[in-house]
Amino acid sequence: MAPPTPPPASELRITVPQRFHASRPETANSLRYRKPVRRIAIYSPPDIGCHEHQRERTTMIGRIALAATMMATAMGFAQAADHEIRMLNKGAGGFMVFEPAFIQAAVGDTVTFVPTDKSHDAGSITGMAPAGSMPFRGKINEKLTVKLDAEGLYGVKCTPHYGMGMVALIAAGKPVNLDEARAVKHPGKAQKAFEALLARAAAAQ
């Protein structure tokens, strides 16, 4: 059986912040210019006929890639996550609900509102969004993905069921706009629903 073909060296590029090389004398000169990143290409030796050597090389490349991923994660460059919120006629929290109704996310993550049941949408609420974030509103019965660009709390309502308490709260990082969000008035059951959600956001810290 033919051994697996490793990807060409040109595809194995890892971007590592310059400060990782601060202790290396040969990069001291480039450090002075404050270049933001330094590119490292993993050297891939030319094809060796022996299967055993090829397997070894493939394993080695795999280990280097894994180490780079772990390093990036440790440095806080983890891949942005997507959080799913389903729009339901009936869920654990009662009738007409977002599920889950509260999400703790990180800045840069995305949230996708999934129209599991019909007749719902998801929209932002004036005064319940971090400064600099974009207002959003999806269409009824349509999936909507929102990027959490700014840190803070994002209040969400379903337009037809706002008064029935169909609301959700997303925290991207810390709830820096908690007081502002608490000051917003809501119709019907949404007021109590948000009081509970805002308490969860405060407790999550």
List residues binding Cu ion (CB under 5 A).
Answer: 96, 120, 158, 161, 166
Give CA 106 to chain center in angstroms.
Answer: 6
Closest distance of CB 106 from Cu ion, Å: 27
User: Of 115, 114, 113, 94, which is closest to residue 154 (Cα–Cα)?
Assistant: 113
Residue nearest to Cu ion (CB): 158
Closest distance of CB 38 from Cu ion, Å: 50
Q: Which residue number, 59 or 119, has a Cβ lying nearer to Cu ion? A: 119
Q: Which residue number, 146 or 175, has a Cβ lying nearer to Cu ion? A: 146
Closest distance of CB 199 from Cu ion, Å: 23
Closest distance of CB 162 from Cu ion, Å: 8
Q: Which residue number, 124 or 177, has a Cβ lying nearer to Cu ion? A: 124
- Buried b / exposed e over 74-113, threshold 16 CB at 10 Å, is eeeeeeeeebebbbbeebebeebbbbbbbbbbeeebebeb
